[in-house]
Amino acid sequence: MLALSLATSVLPAADVQAKIDCSKVKCLALTFDDGPGKHTRPLLDLLKKEKVKATFFVTGKHVEESPSVVRRAAREGHAIGNHTYSHQSLPPLLDYEIIDQMRAASTVIEDATGRRVRMFRPPYGHTDERVLGIAGEQDLAQVLWTGTTLDWSLRDAKKIKAAVLRLARRDGVILMHDTVPQTVQAMPAIVKELKKRGYHLVTVPALAGAKGAKGLRPGVSYP
């Protein structure tokens, strides 16, 4: 596996949204797992057009295939998180295998973006105290979610939109997948309706770093 490399320090994605105070306004974080893939670019086009930010938990092997997509996402102010190198369930693995999965993913992400990775999401949401402890040793916060759309199962744009709107709540973190084409198809209507309902769509670091919040901390699970 790849060894962890040092990345150039730049402003984190949360700073891009520093003017949005989620302690005073209604915020929501849209998150996308498993990419980048062929549908990620159209999704980035939409997010740019709508002037909203999202969080992408990417797998290392896919970053190696499409580093420019991840580089673009980071450059446009989206937050990038570690989703392991090859999307294996972590609890059954040995310690060194978990470390390799985390380090290899962080390495390719940092090589693509020039930004240090500070958060990870365990594949399938499978985690335990041992996984969380190892994440802390790798200087990673664990990020789960408040609601999942199950878009990978629904595969229907209207149903995915309905799921997002049902799950939306202040300071929520919603799980989707940019590898599901119907999710990307649903996003224009989703963003429009969420804005209509008064939500500010922000990154997970921006949400976690709101005034009075504890922020993302290594070895700690959020939200």
**Catalytic residue flag (residue 200):** no
> Which of 49, 68, 69 lies closest to 178 in space, CA to CA?
69
Q: Are 7 and 110 in contact (CB under 8 A)?
A: yes
Rounded to whole angstroms, how far apart are CA atoms 50 and 189?
11
* Burial profile 97-118: b = 16 or more Cβ within 10 angstroms, e = fewer: ebbbbbbbbbbbbbbbbebebb
The active-site residue, picked from 33, 34, 100, 151, is 33
Structure confidence by residue, pLDDT tens digits, 78-132: 999 999 999 999 999 999 999 999 999 999 999 999 999 999 999 999 999 999 9
Domain over 20-222 is classified CATH 3.10.580.10: no
Structure confidence by residue, pLDDT tens digits, 150-208: 999 999 999 999 999 999 999 999 999 999 999 999 999 999 999 999 999 999 999 99
**Catalytic residue flag (residue 87):** no
The active-site residue, picked from 83, 177, 178, 200, is 177
Q: Model confidence at 214, in pLDDT bands (50, 70, 90)?
A: confident
Alpha carbons within 13 angstroms on the beta-carbon side of residue 193 total: 14
- With a cut of 80, say whether residue 5 has pLDDT above it: no
- With a cut of 70, say whether residue 52 has pLDDT above it: yes
pLDDT at 9: 32
Rounded to whole angstroms, how far apart are CA atoms 36 and 68?
10
The domain locations on the chain are 20-222
